[in-house]
Chain A
Amino acid sequence: MLEIESVSAGYAHDGTTVIEDVTLRVAAGEIVGLVGESGCGKSTLARVVTGLHRPSAGTVRVAGVDVHALRGRALRAHRRQVQMVFQDPYLTLSPRQTVRQALTEPLTIHRVGDARSRAARVSELLDLVELDPQVGDRRRGQLSGGQRQRVAIARALALDPRLLICDEPVTALDVSVQAKVLNLLCDLRDRLDFGCLFIAHDLAVVSQLADRIAVMWRGRIVEQGPTAAVTTDPRHSYTRLLLSATPTM
């Protein structure tokens, strides 16, 4: 579903390279965890994959199409395939829109169906992320952290993407709420069969969720493999450091 081929990227204004020679694949229905410390390039990789940032080398293919070869209308049409859930849902939702309006917006942008079918789809989405229908009439400020992230997930899924990028989606949430959102993501993946790149700094969260884990350190992927292999038999010293720092009971 997602093929990242030797991608490097940086920021032109200061000429630094943030990620270097990253190769990673995510199959349909697979959750791949990407772990690393802040500033290691995880979020830049997410921006490259979604097409928000242009790589300096390498290619990113989603469902076989080179994301960065597209322009204008074709790019916007293609964007339906890849959606993203951000760390802080408070910042990604508009303070002025109700939940229903926020969920209708992607459908309006891509001219999906008519008013009635959009309303039906929005109700379906609320149901999908286990939110009460009356939550649909609330605004950002009237939602709890967990509810906000559910809305953000529902909006990302509105266009039925084949690939979901989750950038630290539970880092800002309480432990008890975090567990529920992670369960939801797992269920949704099982039902909708999308591929998922799950970015986090917490190895414990990722190891319980992901099928495979990639460890990123200073802009490079230093280790990747099946979850059990990475957590029980880490090869790279940074992975071992991450494991030892993970809070356990």
Chain B
Amino acid sequence: MNGLLHRPGARTALIAVPLVLFAVAGGLAPLLAPADPGVGDLAASLRPPSPQHPLGTDQLGRDQLSRLLYGARISMTITAAVLAISLAIGAVVGATVGYLGGWADWVVARVIDVVVSLPGMLVALAVIGARGPGVESLVLALSLWSWAPYARIARARVAGMRGSPHMDALRLLGAGRVRIIGRHLLPPALAPCLVYASTDVGTIVLGVATLSFLGLGVAPPHAEWGQMLIEGQPFLGSAWWLAYPPGIAVTAVVFASNLLGERLASGEEAPSLLRLAFPGRIRRAARSARPAVVAEPAAVQDSVLVVRDLSVAYPGDGGLRRVAAGISYEVRRGQVLALVGETGSGKTTAALAPFGLLDPRAVVTGSAMLGARELVGPVPRERRRVGVVFQDGAAALNPLRTIGAHIDEAVRNAGRGGRRGATRRVTEELLGTAGLPDPAMVAHWFPHQLSGGMRQRAQIAMALAGEPELLVADEPTSALDVTVQAQLLDLLAGLRDELDMAMVVVSHDLAVVARLADSVAVVYAGRIVESGPLETLIKAPDHPYTRGLLDAVPRPGTAPGTRFRTMPGRSGIGPDDTAGCGFAPRCAFATPACTTERPVLEPLDPSAAHRSACLRHPSTSTTTDGTC
């Protein structure tokens, strides 16, 4: 039971119980109600709760439980009608004008603004005043002011999708407006509307009760919660059972719908809450996942970062699932190490894990020494001495702050600068170091005013603010043009040489890092399969996967129509998905042993600089397969 309650879905269901209960009870009222809610026995008026009348009787001798159940039926029916009408009108109007844009959009947007800003009760009173009370007037009055938020939500959702490639593709396929709106825009627009609707249920139930209480909604003798409240009001002191049950019912539905709406709206937040709730459990699991230690060579003298046997796991369905295992690498002062691999290979995980920059659920084990300090474990992390540059500069910078403000903050955090003017001087100096022309002007710009290459330079300036010993760059040039990419790689190479900085660069493209890296580690299926000096790796690769990566690089000057050399199969497996070599299923050299025996990183030269994890070692093997 305890475990069930901890499932987010179960909790959401629990919150919805009062709503479902009253909806079902209302629907089944004719079957559940012990008596006719409209027929009273004046001889049995104002009786307290008893086995015969579980909630007592009112001043006319009518069974209160029956009236409560029928009241639920009326409240829920009216609410459902209002919701259906306002959702349908709101979503269709919002999605249509959101897609069409132009003057129609402008007009509808203003109408929505007006309706949303009007006090709803006033609108309802005006409508009922004009039409007279009754169920139809009530539904109309409530729908008239509840459609607008749905239209606003749908319009905003659709407006964000209007110019997307998805819509362009549909237009090119010949899809008309009706199809695009009906099939492709309404469904995604409905999702947030439904979330809002769950909160709206409470508002509408309350609205119905309020209007009935004022005598403008459901007229007597129909049982309705608001109506019951008004009838019970004179007897609050003497016969509490008249007013309390409908009051509690309204409150329960309103509470439940608000909580449900809040929960549905937060949606994705669950994981971080999970971690806050059960840190102990995850840490225990981490301890049990510690793998066997493999002997590693001693670290070289001037190493800035030494990573040994690093593993990263995430909690999944069947316990922890490792995404990187047995990762060992080191970066020396003034050297660039490139971690190369395909999407999902674990290369970014391997680069960011030592600095606690992964999802908070990640369980990191092993060792990562920055100088003399251990980074893995519960001690506060030394992040300041490490600068990080992410792939997407637009996402890494706050769109509402200037470039200068970003870097000023980083400078202050690093304890440099001091007064405002002094801080800005450091900022401008950093922007200059990152190769941005006219730093004083760029500092006043917002991220969207910069090109992709300039944003990456701004990120680099920010990373340099703490005078880091190590710079970690995750696919720093992947989103850039080749010419801009080349300039940025040259900048990084320059920083390494001038500041004698150590760098870890993550990339999927060996050709890109070849311009910058001193050494390379190739990551496949969460493990390093080959590492060594750049020259050796490119001229004499050993691991068949490294060879495949090199072959896939297009070469200018090749005759047009030449087929690109590819590797069969696809990646996407984890480090523990096979007992043998992760690459074996795609490997041209694989033997039966490759699928059962896991190769370890073995030195290929006396200095042990070049290492490869392959049973066959094609570069040294004397038995050639003809494809070598």
Contact = CB atoms under 8 A, between A and B. Distances in A.
Interface of A: 31, 37-39, 47, 50-52, 76-77, 79-80, 82-84, 86-88, 91-96, 105-106, 109-110, 144-146, 152, 155, 158-159, 174-180, 182-183, 186, 201-205, 207-211, 227-228, 231-232, 241-249
A159 B169 CA distance: 13
Contact of A86 (B168, B560, B570): B168
B556 interface: yes
Interface string B546-567: 0011111111111111111111
A205 B562 CA distance: 11
B628 interface: no
A159 B165 contact: no
A38 B483 CA distance: 10
Contacts of A249: 510-511, 514, 538, 550, 553, 555
Contact of A204 (B555, B570, B571, B572): B555
Nearest to A93: B166
A94 B483 contact: no
Contact of A227 (B555, B560, B566): B560
Interface stretch (B171-179, B268-276, B397-405): B171-179
A148 B508 CA distance: 18
A243 B556 contact: yes
B187 A207 contact: no
Interface in B562-605: 562-567, 570-572
Interface in B420-452: 451-452
B342 A91 contact: no
Q: Which of B551, B556, B561 has the most CB of A within 10 A?
A: B556
B540 interface: no
B514 A175 contact: no
B11 interface: no
B481 to A, nearest CB: 4
B509 interface: yes
B560 A208 contact: yes
Contacts of A207: 554, 556-558, 560
Given A94-B184, A144-B572, A248-B511, A105 B173 contact: yes
Interface of B: 164-166, 168-176, 179, 184, 187-188, 342-343, 451-452, 481-486, 508-512, 514-515, 538, 548-567, 570-572
Contacts of A248: 511, 514, 555-556
Contacts of B485: 245, 247
Contact of A176 (B165, B174, B566): B566
Contact of B342 (A83, A174, A203, A227): A174
Contacts of A209: 560-561
A89 B563 CA distance: 23
Given A91-B166, A106-B173, A109-B175, A245 B554 contact: no
B341 to A, nearest CB: 9
A42 to B, nearest CB: 11
A155 B168 CA distance: 13
Nearest to B551: A179
A103 B582 CA distance: 33
6 contacts: A94-B184, A177-B570, A204-B511, A211-B560, A248-B514, A248-B556
Contacts of A87: 165
B130 to A, nearest CB: 42
Given A159-B173, A176-B342, A202-B554, A91 B164 contact: yes
Contacts of B170: 105
A79 B174 contact: yes
Contact of A50 (B172, B552, B566): B172
A92 B560 contact: no
A245 B551 CA distance: 20
B519 to A, nearest CB: 16
B556 to A, nearest CB: 5
A106 B176 CA distance: 11
Contact of B570 (A95, A144, A210, A241): A144
Contacts of A91: 164-166
B566 A180 contact: yes
B166 A201 contact: no
Contact of A76 (B174, B343, B538, B561): B174
B187 A96 contact: yes
Contacts of A37: 481, 483-484
Nearest to B514: A249
A80 to B, nearest CB: 7
B192 to A, nearest CB: 14
A184 to B, nearest CB: 10
B168 A84 contact: yes
Q: Which of B175, B509, B511, B560 has the most CB of A within 10 A?
A: B560
A86 B514 contact: no
Nearest to B175: A109
Contacts of B187: 96
Given A96-B188, A183-B566, A247 B514 contact: yes
Question: Across chains A and B, which 5 residue pairs bring their CB atoms closest together, nearest first?
Answer: A179-B564, A247-B511, A245-B486, A204-B554, A179-B552
Contact of A84 (B172, B184, B565): B172
Contact of B560 (A145, A175, A228): A228
Given A79-B171, A92-B165, A106-B173, 19 more contacts: A52-B168, A79-B174, A80-B174, A83-B173, A91-B166, A109-B179, A144-B570, A174-B508, A175-B549, A179-B554, A179-B564, A179-B565, A179-B566, A244-B486, A245-B485, A247-B482, A247-B486, A247-B553, A248-B556
Contact of A203 (B508, B515, B556, B570): B556
Contacts of B172: 50-52, 79, 82-84
Contacts of B549: 175-176
Nearest to B345: A174
A203 B482 contact: yes
A118 B483 CA distance: 45
A210 B486 CA distance: 23
Given A52-B168, A174-B508, A109 B174 contact: yes
A175 B509 contact: yes
A231 B556 contact: yes
Q: Which of B174, B566, B572 has the most CB of A within 10 A?
A: B174
B340 to A, nearest CB: 9
Contacts of A232: 557
B555 to A, nearest CB: 6
Contacts of B509: 175, 247
A175 B173 contact: no
Nearest to A51: B172
A21 B510 CA distance: 38
Nearest to A203: B556
Contacts of A155: 169, 173
Contacts of A203: 482, 556
A242 B514 CA distance: 17
